[in-house]
Amino acid sequence: MTASPWIQRFSHLVPAGGTVLDVACGQGRHVHWFAQRGHPCLGIDRSEQALAALPASAQRLCADIEQAAWPLPGAQFAAVVVTNYLWRALLPTIVASVAPGGVLLYETFAEGNARFGKPSRAGFLLQPGELLRACGNELRVVAYEDGFLDGPARCVQRIAALRPLPGTDTLAAL
C-alpha cells in the first residue's frame, strides 16, 4: 500500500499536526502515509472491512456518501485527500471541507481512460478542467495535471490547491 506519488509530492503543504480527511479511503494507503508523519487522520468509506485496515491511531467513519447526507456538515480539515474516486455531487462539499490554510489533494481518472480499462463510464471520469472549475476562486491552485500517465497506463486529473488564510499570501506555504 504505497501512497500516490502525487500525494507524497504535495504532502508537505499540510500544516504540521493538521487533521487529514481521506474521502473514500478504502484500506487507507494515504491515511497510513499521513499518520506516519504525525497527522491525526479521519478515513471515511462505506466498507467496514476496508476501514479495519486503517492504523489504530486513525478515526474511522463508515458512511455511504453517495446515498446519504454528508456525515460531516460544516467540518473543515487541514487536508482533504481524494484518490481514485469521483462523485460529482460532492465536489462542492469536498472543496468547502478544506480549512483556511489547508490543502486539497485530489487525483482520479479522467476522460480518455476507457482506452486503458476501468473506470470507463463517463460518470466516473473527470472532464477536462473539471477539478480546476471545482476549486473556482475558493482555492489557490499550486499544481494541476490532466492527461496520460504510464505504468500502469491511465488518464488522470490531479490537483493540489490551498485555501488561503485571510490576509495572507498563499505562496508563503510553499
| pLDDT 10s digits, 73-101 | 999 999 999 998 889 899 999 999 999 99
What's the CATH code of the domain at 124?
3.40.50.150
The stretches of 44-123 forming alpha helices (DSSP H) are 48-51, 91-96
Q: Could you tell me the CA-to-CA distances from 21 to 24, 39, 119, 128, 132 in Å, in that order?
A: 10, 10, 24, 25, 20
Give the C-alpha separation, 68 to 71, whole Å: 8
For the chain, give the mean pLDDT: 89
Instruction: Give residue 116's pLDDT.
Output: 64
Stretch among 26-40, 41-55, 113-127, 130-144 having the lowest mean pLDDT: 113-127
Domain that holds residue 78: 5-173
Q: So what's the pLDDT on residue 169?
A: 62
Q: What is the pTM of this model?
A: 0.92
Sheet holding 154-162, edge to edge: 59-62, 41-45, 20-23, 77-83, 98-109, 154-162, 140-149
Q: Is the pLDDT of residue 51 over 60?
A: yes
What pLDDT sits at residue 156?
78
pLDDT, one tens digit per residue, over 118-167 is 766 777 776 888 999 999 999 999 999 887 777 787 777 899 999 998 87
The contacts found for 166-169 with CB under 8 angstroms, 24 or more apart, are 166/100, 168/101
Number of domains comprising the chain: 1
Q: If you average pLDDT over residues 48-66, what whole number do you get? A: 96
Question: Residue 119: what pLDDT?
Answer: 64
pLDDT for the residue numbered 174: 52
Question: Looking at residue 114, what is its pLDDT?
Answer: 65
Q: How far apart are CA 122 and CA 26, in angstroms?
A: 22
Pairing assessment for the beta strands 41-45 and 20-23 based on DSSP bridges: parallel
Residue of 84, 126, 83, 81 whose CA lies nearest to 103: 81
In this prediction, residue 172 carries a pLDDT of 53
Q: For the chain, how many residues are written?
A: 174
